[in-house]
Structure 1
Amino acid sequence: MRSARSAGSVDVKLLELLVCPFTYGTLKYDAEKNELISERARLAYPVRDGIPIMLVSEARQLPEDD
């Protein structure tokens, strides 16, 4: 059974447990782009089919002014 509390297709409880694999810092969910954002690392990790892809090699580099 899916949690009624979810951020888009990502479970909120899961998001609370995840950290950036590069900095071990907190992540912010961007529902519009369906990504987990690490502001400290300036990386955006994609979420595909509700599964966060927590690989630095799969992350998108964020522009400095974003």
Structure 2
Amino acid sequence: MDPKLLEILVCPVCKGPLEHRRAEQELVCRPCRLAYSIKDDIPVMLADEARTLSADEAGAP
């Protein structure tokens, strides 16, 4: 993914920062516990299509 694009993308739900997980091809919002997939270098920023993270995946205490 383009680093400049990553700088400006935010979670569409909470407007918070996203973590790029390259191996999983996802952008993760820890507070919302959502993972947005990246398909063909294009992030799918739709909350309805996001994967819900488990507490372990989100890094919750």
Same fold (TM over 0.5): yes
Query: 2:33 pairs with 39, 42, 47, which one?
Result: 42
Which has the larger Rg? 1
Deviations 1:3-23 (A, max 9, x none): xxxxxxx10100000000001
User: Which structure: greater helix fraction?
Assistant: 2
CA distance in 2, matches of 1:45, 1:65: 17
The code of the aligned residue for 2:40 comes to D
**Mapping for residues 1-66 of structure 1, pairs under 5 Å:** 10-66=1-57
Deviations 1:6-60 (A, max 9, x none): xxxx101000000000010000100000000000100000000000000001100
TM-score by length of 2: 0.90
Runs of 4 or more above 2 Å deviation = none
* Structure 1 runs not aligned, ≥5 long: 1-9
Number of residues paired by the alignment?
A: 57
**C-alpha deviation, 1:64, in angstroms:** 1.1
